[in-house]
């Protein structure tokens, strides 16, 4: 494509994506990237815990062409799920659910929007594409970083300098060269608030996450019993954990970055009170579980996981 054609297509994609409700749009090359050298040692240290799918499709994650052979660039998109405001830290007695999981499952919401975006792209140019929302074997944050959506922070989250880190990532892989690589300067500086605040030590050093100790992993992905020595640190976290994001200055109100209004999709709003959710979990059975938690992130923990988590939280709260 000629440069002006590429510019036109990028502008069309950007404007269409923003109109569909995405907040961030960027265009990344497919690599290779120097940052991928850290992935293999991370796996070798078993920091991925029981998430063996990360290792099984390692070659695809390290080289996007092993997943989509004709790919030439990545359209990276960000959608915020929590309005910019100073979040209340988890000091109260009420059980907590990670903000991303309080409403509908983004794995259900976002693909519908990506398909609409794809129709616009295919109307502009004949091309092969593949949409990705979390489950695809690609290093999402890395492409988001090289598309200019933010920098990867010490808590391993992608952080936008104005909007913070409460956003979902998704991608469209395309066999057209649209790459307009740009990277955001890392603004973590000497700050170590996320490392210091993690109650389980799941961030042993900057930019490294040990899933074996992560409350999000333990309460969502881990199957079976959670080690007793981890129970007290789980505190009131029923499903997931936002602590390393809550303490991040880039998610706080400051004089430099005033709060602003973002349109957050209503699907991501809380679906019930914590008391109602507690009752729902207590009354869940193998027969009704799928219906009770259909199209919700909470379903990922399965019925045994949610009941296990609820028991730990109630013990911690003295309920």
- In the chain (319 residues long), the average pLDDT of successive 10-residue segments reads 82 96 96 95 97 96 98 97 61 84 97 98 96 97 98 98 94 96 94 98 98 98 97 97 96 54 86 94 97 97 98 93
Distance CA 64, CA 172 (A): 12
The per-residue pLDDT for 295 is 97
Length of the chain: 319
**CA neighbours closer than 13 Å in the CB half-sphere of residue 289:** 17
The per-residue pLDDT for 4 is 76
> Among candidates 30, 31, 48, which has minimal Cα distance to 39?
48
How many domains does the chain divide into? 2
Among residues 147, 174, 201, which one ends one of the domains? Answer: 174
Distance CA 304, CA 223 (A): 8
In this structure, the answer to whether residues 25 and 151 fall within a common structural domain is: yes
Q: Which of 7, 52, 63, 134 is catalytic?
A: 134
In this structure, the answer to whether residues 118 and 236 fall within a common structural domain is: no
In this structure, the answer to whether residues 31 and 156 fall within a common structural domain is: yes
In this structure, the answer to whether residues 48 and 150 fall within a common structural domain is: yes
The per-residue pLDDT for 254 is 44
Strands 158-159, 24-28: pairing is unpaired
The per-residue pLDDT for 262 is 73
The per-residue pLDDT for 257 is 47
Residue 163 lies in a domain: yes
Look up 315 and say whether it is catalytic. no
In this structure, the answer to whether residues 226 and 308 fall within a common structural domain is: yes
The per-residue pLDDT for 259 is 46
In this structure, the answer to whether residues 202 and 148 fall within a common structural domain is: no
- 189-192: long-range contacts at Cβ-Cβ below 8 A with a sequence spacing of 24 or more? 191/154, 191/249, 192/154
Residue ranges making up the domain that contains 113: 3-85+106-174
């Amino acid at each position: 494509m000629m440069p002006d054609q590429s510019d036109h297509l990028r502008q069309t994609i950007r404007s269409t994506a923003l109109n569909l409700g995405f907040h961030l749009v960027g265009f990344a090359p497919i690599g290779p990237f120097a940052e991928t050298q850290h992935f293999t040692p991370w796996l070798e240290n078993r920091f991925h815990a029981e998430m063996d799918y990360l290792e099984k499709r390692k070659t695809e994650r390290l080289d996007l062409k092993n997943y989509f052979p004709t790919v030439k660039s990545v359209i990276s998109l960000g959608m915020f799920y929590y309005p910019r405001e100073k979040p209340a830290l988890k000091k109260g007695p009420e059980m907590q659910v990670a903000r991303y999981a309080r409403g509908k499952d983004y794995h259900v919401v976002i693909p519908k929007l990506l398909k609409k975006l794809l129709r616009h792209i295919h109307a502009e140019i004949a091309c092969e594409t593949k949409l990705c929302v979390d489950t695809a074997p690609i290093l999402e944050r890395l492409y988001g970083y090289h598309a200019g959506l933010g920098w990867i922070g010490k808590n391993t989250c992608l952080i936008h300098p104005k909007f913070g880190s409460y956003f979902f990532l998704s991608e469209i892989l395309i066999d057209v060269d649209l790459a307009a690589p740009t990277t955001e300067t890392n603004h973590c500086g000497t700050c170590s608030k996320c490392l210091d605040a993690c109650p389980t030590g799941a961030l042993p050093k900057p930019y490294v996450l040990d899933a074996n100790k992560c409350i999000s992993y333990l309460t969502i992905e881990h199957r079976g019993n959670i080690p007793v020595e981890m129970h007290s640190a789980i505190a009131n976290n029923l499903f997931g954990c936002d602590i390393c994001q809550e303490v991040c200055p880039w998610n706080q109100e400051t004089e430099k970055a005033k709060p602003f209004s973002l349109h957050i999709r209503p699907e991501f709003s809380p679906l019930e009170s914590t008391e109602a959710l507690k009752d729902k979990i207590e009354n869940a059975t193998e027969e009704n579980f799928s219906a009770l938690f259909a199209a919700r992130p909470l379903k990922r923990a399965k019925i045994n996981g949610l009941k296990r988590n609820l028991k730990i939280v109630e013990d911690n709260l003295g309920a």
